[in-house]
Structure 1
Amino acid sequence: MNNIDITKTYIKAVQTGDQATLGSLISPDVVWHQPGSNQFSGTHRGMAAVGAMLGKMMEASRGTFAITRADPYMANGDWVAVTLEFAGQANGVELKQPGVDLIRIEGGQIVEVRLFSSDQDQEDLFWGQ
């Protein structure tokens, strides 16, 4: 699989909750940069930390947080950028906005993720402190 195919498989696994595929695609040593000033913001290192954060995100949104659109995918060397839309409900806030995920792939696995939100203030309210 090329890097765009790996990223598409990753996004689909996120959308369907396919934990086995996520576990095979994300490096145990992944570095995840979560933007903003909310309870999940910061740099998370290792799949154990990232998995725990993602689980808490699903708890906070009562399972409503989802990637609702992902297209186009663009590659530059080890990096893939994908424009997406994400949505959900949490803390009395309805979230629906575009963003960009930058995903770095080495040896067929995702080793680094950088996320960008179009309205970080709204996302911070959504996730809360």
Structure 2
Amino acid sequence: MSEHPDCALVRRCYEAFGQGDMEKLGSMMTADVIHHVPGNNPLSGHHKGREGVLDLYRRLGEETNGTFRVELGPVLVDGRGHVMSFHTVYADRGDRGIEIGEGLFFTIVGGKITDIDGCIADIDESDAFWS
């Protein structure tokens, strides 16, 4: 059985992210995409527009001196334009390290990502790492 196109899209996004290919990653998003980051830290909030979202992703690398990486786990689809992905984040920042479970809820319209909602296993741990 072949993979649902929306799951395949999300997997391609993770692949592009892992390769640092922001141009390819951006091509899979609408111009008005929004990425919602939970918590109360300098990265939290609503990152609006393709460039705003890509700037967030670039900042993850900058803030961690290139150590930020994700290991993709299950990818689930509802067949109505929504995909849930689960991953583990690994990163070092200063004298701190983090290994934390996260999930993303994607909304997909016309084969492009329009909205990304993040969830974190431990918001307090994430806030402490990024603050």
TM-score, normalized by length of structure 1?
0.92
CA distance in 2, matches of 1:103, 1:91: 31
- Can you give the 5+ residue segments of structure 2 that lack an aligned partner in the other structure? none
CA distance in 1, matches of 2:103, 2:51: 24
Q: Which residue does the alignment assign to 2:76? A: 74
CA distance in 1, matches of 2:113, 2:35: 10
Q: Which residue does the alignment assign to 2:44? A: 41
CA distance in 1, matches of 2:94, 2:120: 18
Percent of residue pairs identical: 25
Q: Which residue does the alignment assign to 1:26? A: 29
Q: Which residue does the alignment assign to 1:57? A: 60
Q: What's the offset of the Cα at 1:94?
A: 0.6
- Can you give the 5+ residue segments of structure 1 that lack an aligned partner in the other structure? none
Alignment RMSD (CA, Å):
1.3
Counting only pairs closer than 5 Å after superposition, residues 106-125 of structure 1 correspond to structure 2 as 106-125=109-128
CA distance in 2, matches of 1:11, 1:55: 14
1:29-63 deviations in whole A, cap 9, x for unaligned? 10110111000101111012112222222111111
CA distance in 2, matches of 1:56, 1:16: 15
Aligned residues: 127
1:65-92 deviations in whole A, cap 9, x for unaligned? 111x212110011110011111101142
Q: Is the 2:37–2:43 contact (alpha carbons within 8 Å) kept by the matching residues of 1?
A: yes
TM-score, normalized by length of structure 2?
0.91
The list of structure 1 runs, each at least 4 consecutive aligned residues, that deviate by more than 4 angstroms after superposition, is none
